[in-house]
Amino acid sequence: MDKLLIKGPCKIKGQVIISGSKNAALPILASTILFDKTVTIENLPRVRDVDTMLSLLKSLGSKIQFFNNKKTVKITKNKKKKIYAPYSLVKTMRAGILVLGPMIAKYHKSVTSLPGGCLIGARPVNYHLNALKKLGMKYKIKKGYIHANSNGKLKGTNFKFSNISVGATENSIIAACLARGKTILKNCAIEPEIKDLTNFLKSAGAKIKWIGKRTVQIEGVKSLNSIKYSIMGDRIEAGTFCVAAALTKGNLLIKNFDSNLIQTELNLLKKIGSKIKTLKKEIYIKGPNKIKNINNIITKEYPNFPTDLQAQFMVLLCKANGRSTITESIFENRFMHVAELRRLGAKIIIKENKAIIEGNTEFLAAELMSSDLRASVALVLAAMVAKGQSVINRIYHLDRGYERIENKLRKIGVNIKRLS
C-alpha cells in the first residue's frame, strides 16, 4: 500500500494548474447512460473515483476510449446493455448510486448495489429513492442491492426534497431528462458541480431551467444529442492549494480556475491575513506572516463554507494566533482527522459537532494514518509545516480525489515523495 513521506517545514512558491472537478465529473459520466450517441468529455481528472466510474460504465455496456493523456474520454454505447451495478465497483464511492436514475430512465430496470465511500456519516440513499419513486420507479432492497423498475417511461412530477442533498438532486435531474412531461424539483442543492451537470445536459438538448434559487424545471425529451464538453475546475483542490499557500507563508499562482466559485473561502483566507488577487481564471495568494484566528466557521450547503474544506482549514487554524472554532453541520463523523492532528501536536477539543482549536501549534513530525479523502489532505498540509519527516499511510483515500498531488506539491517547493 502506498504512503507519503513529507519533510517539513516547507514554503510554497510558484504556480499550480487545477485539475477537472471530481464531483462534477462523476454525475456527468453517470448521465452518459441516457445517450445513444457518442459523448466526448474533456478536462477529466485522473483520480481513482473517476476510474471507478468509468469501469462501472464499461460493465454496463459503454465503450470507453481515452485521448490526451487520459484527460479526454469518448463514450459510445455497445449494442449489449446491462443493468447490474455490482458491489465490487460501487463499494468504494458514494457516487455509484448515480447510475440508478439514468438506468431507470433509459432502460426502465436496474439492479444497483448500495454505495460505499468515506466513513464520514450516514448519507442515506432514501433521498434518492424517494425522488425516483415519485417519478415512477418501484423498488425493493434485497441483500444490499436496490432492485428497481418502472412501467415504461418515468413520468414528470413535482417533488420537494426533505433535505438538501447533492447526490439526490443530481440523480433526479438526470432521470427526469427522459421522463414524460414536466418535472419540478424543489429544495435542490445548487453546488457549482450541479450547475455543470445541468449545463452539460442542456448542451446535449435537455430542457432544464432554474426557476428559483433552489427550484429546477425539467421537460422530458425523447433523446439527447452527441456532445463534446469540458468539465469545470475542482473547487476543493483550488481551496486546498489556497490553504497550503496561507499555511506556509507561501506565494502561489493558481491557474485554470474561476475564483467566483470559492468566494466564501477566499473571504475567510483574507480574514486570517492572506493577500489575494483574482483574475478571470487565476488566483494569486500570498500567505500572512501571522495567521489571525477566526471564530465560528460553520459548514453548510453551497454557497456557504463547504464541509469538504473543513479539515484543511482546521490545520490552518492550528497555526493561528489565538483560539478558533469550526462547527460541522453536514456530516456527523467528519472530525476523524483530529486524532491524527493531535499526534503532530495539535490542541483541539471536540464538543459534539464543534471543534475548539487552540492556535500557535508547533507541529512535530509523526507517523500518520488517513481515514477519509479530505482528512488525508489535511494530514499532508500539517506534515508540510511540521518539523521533521512525517509518514502518511493509507493514501488510497487521497488518490480518490486528488490527481497525483505529490507531483503538484513537489513543483511548488514541498519535500514529498511517494513510497509504493
Active site residue 242: no
Please give the Cα distance from 416 to 394 (Å, whole number): 16
Four-residue CA torsion sign, 298, 301, 302, 307: positive
Residue recorded with cell 439492479: 111
Q: Is the peptide bond preceding residue 9 cis, with omega within 30 degrees of 0?
A: yes
C-alpha cell at 33: 447512460
C-alpha cell at 51: 476510474
The answer to whether the beta carbons of residues 210 and 137 sit under 8 Å apart is: no
Q: Is 144 helix (H, G, I), strand (E, B) or coil?
A: coil
Going by C-beta distance under 8 Å and a sequence separation of 6 or more, which residues neighbour residue 105?
34, 154, 174, 175, 176, 177, 178, 179
- Name beta bridge partners: 347: 358
- What are the Cα distances from residue 73, in Å, to 41, 65, 119, 228, 407? 5, 6, 30, 10, 23
C-alpha cell at 48: 481513482
Please give the Cα distance from 339 to 370 (Å, whole number): 11
Task: Specify the long-range contacts of residues 130-136, CB closer than 8 Å, at least 24 apart.
Answer: 130/159, 130/162, 130/168, 131/159, 131/161, 131/168, 131/171, 131/172, 131/185, 132/100, 132/101, 132/104, 132/171, 132/172, 132/175, 134/159, 135/104, 135/159, 135/172, 135/175, 135/176, 135/179, 135/183, 136/179
Q: Which amino acid is at 79?
A: K
Helices first, then strands: H and E counts in the chain: 14, 24
Four-residue CA torsion sign, 344, 348, 349, 353: negative
Residue recorded with cell 499555511: 247
C-alpha cell at 65: 476510449
Spot the catalytic one: 118, 177, 188, 318: 118
Provide the annotated active-site residues: 118
